[in-house]
Amino acid sequence: MSTVAPAELVERIWARDATLWTGQDEAKWLGWLDEPMRVRSRIGRLVQFAEDVAAPGVIDTFVLLGMGGSSLAPHVLKQTFGAGSFYVLDTTHPAAVRHATETLDPERTLFIAASKSGSTLETRCHLDYFWNKAGKRGEHFAAITDPGSELEAHAREHGFIEVFEGEPTIGGRYSALSSFGMVPAMLMGIDLERFLERVDEMVEACHGDEGNPGLELGLELGNGWRDGRDKITINPSTGDFGLWAEQLLAESTGKQGKGLVPAPGESADGPDRQAPDVRLSAPYELGQEFFRWEFATAVAGTILEINPFDQPDVQAAKDRTNEVLAAGGEPDVEPRGSLEELFAEARPGDYVCIQAFIDPAREKELDPLIERARSETGCVVTHGLGPRYLHSTGQLHKGGPNTGLFVQVVDDPGDEVSIPGKPFGFRRLIRAQAAGDLASLEERGRRVARVRLEDL
């Protein structure tokens, strides 16, 4: 159990000392500590790109195609700054794909494919689909990806207007202040100089051993976990900040049977809960808060004694999805178990997780189920849309403590929407993802049920 003095802890984080955590490859993943400084040197290029691509009468709509760490920071930036002409597509639901197809004008739209690995299944399917719909014209496409990735090669081969490189020493969930967040921010019209000035103040503050905002938050999170308060209620969740913080905490700490369970919007009342401050008094504070929570998560990881920079259990659901797709035919998403029996299994310290593979436009229809779960179990209730949560909280669900009661919700996705070059379409893909994740949870002995949205 970590007993490192605060001053030494801060010094060793900045010295990239992997022995603070597990002594494995942590030092390779600390590029986020310096990324704000690196991004500053590229502001001129970003400004020029935004001015060139968004010339009057040419491009006035931007669509980011990404998942998890590539989409959540842009989503929060959009919500926080009210960027009406910027959209994030991070669902494989056919209804959402159809809606985007019907409402977007390809002549006025720039599609930005964002994937660190360059091989993210959902993002590549979105890219293939919209490439076809937009007439296969590279001037309507850009990419954000790590150097040497499949996506980089694809983008250059197909004449994309620009390829922005990610920083290979940063994991996706720590990439908000890298190209993955800052390119979208620039296209939203956010003043990056002003934004990063505030970040610089936080970076400087996180070097100190006294009055260090990231250190204080990290110790609060970690010591609370040690005291049995592992549910993190994130309030207020201004601009959907909780969606971003949720991935950061869950994917970083949910492993080896341990983990912080983020619960944005939930009540702080309960012996298993803690309610750290979210400091978002103005939109331009957002970058500071990104960095503070990143630093805090690294600190908390030393107390949990885990590697906060890997995600060893995420691949399991991807593998099961691929197995379902390879088997052909219609994936099995029939109802399983019952809510009554599942909720009756709730114990003190458990949490309910609602995993909804549904049209995002119908998300409010989950509210009665959320209320029912809360009242019948007395537990914290978390919820996420599939497949987005697979890239966010999925690591916690499989690698964290076995305290989750998982309710998978499916809907009728409607007619198939084909994906060029693929033997499956979006309907079959999202159903395979639902089937694959349930199988992955069951393999780990998790308590699960599946219901139809139409039956609730």
Q: What does the domain layout of the chain look like in residue ranges?
A: 6-33+195-304, 35-190, 314-455
Question: What is the structure's pLDDT at 2?
Answer: 55
CA 181 to the chain's CA centroid: 12
Distance CA 123, CA 113 (A): 7
Question: Sheet of 351-357: strands edge to edge?
Answer: 380-385, 351-357, 404-410, 447-452
Helix (H, G, I), strand (E, B) or coil at 28: helix
**What phi and psi, each to the nearest 5 degrees, are found at residue 86?**
-115, 130
Report CA dihedral (262, 268, 274, 276) to the nearest 10 degrees: 80
> Which residues, 6+ apart, have CB-to-CB distance to 133 below 8 Å?
101, 106
Distance CA 358, CA 413 (A): 7
Tell me how crowded residue 391 is: count the other CB atoms within 10 A of its CB: 26
Residue 66 corresponds to which amino acid? G
Question: What is the structure's pLDDT at 50?
Answer: 92
Question: What is the structure's pLDDT at 54?
Answer: 74
With beta carbons less than 8 A apart as the criterion, state whether 110 and 53 touch.
yes
Tell me how crowded residue 271 is: count the other CB atoms within 10 A of its CB: 10
The tokens 């780990």 sit on which residue? 444
Question: What is the structure's pLDDT at 56?
Answer: 63
- Please name the helix (run of DSSP H) or strand (run of DSSP E) that holds residue 185, with its range, or none: helix 179-187
With beta carbons less than 8 A apart as the criterion, state whether 158 and 128 touch.
no
- Comparing 35-190 with 314-455, is the CATH topology the same? yes
With beta carbons less than 8 A apart as the criterion, state whether 352 and 381 touch.
yes
Distance CA 369, CA 419 (A): 33
- In 151-246, DSSP assigns E strands to 162-165, 231-232
**How do strand 86-89 and strand 447-452 relate by DSSP bridges?**
unpaired
**What phi and psi, each to the nearest 5 degrees, are found at residue 407?**
-115, 110
What does the DSSP assignment read for 357-392? ES-GGGGGGGHHHHHHHHHHH-SEEEEEETTGGGGT
Residue 84: C-alpha distances to residues 29, 237, 261, 312, 330 (Å): 34, 19, 32, 37, 37
CATH code for the structural domain at 35-190:
3.40.50.10490
Distance CA 34, CA 178 (A): 10
Distance CA 297, CA 6 (A): 15
* Residue ranges, the chain, pLDDT below 50: none
> Which residues, 6+ apart, have CB-to-CB distance to 318 below 8 Å?
121, 390, 436
Domain range 6-33+195-304, its CATH number among 3.40.50.10490, 3.40.1800.10, 3.60.21.10, 3.40.630.30: 3.40.50.10490
Architecture of domain 314-455: 3-Layer(aba) Sandwich (3.40)
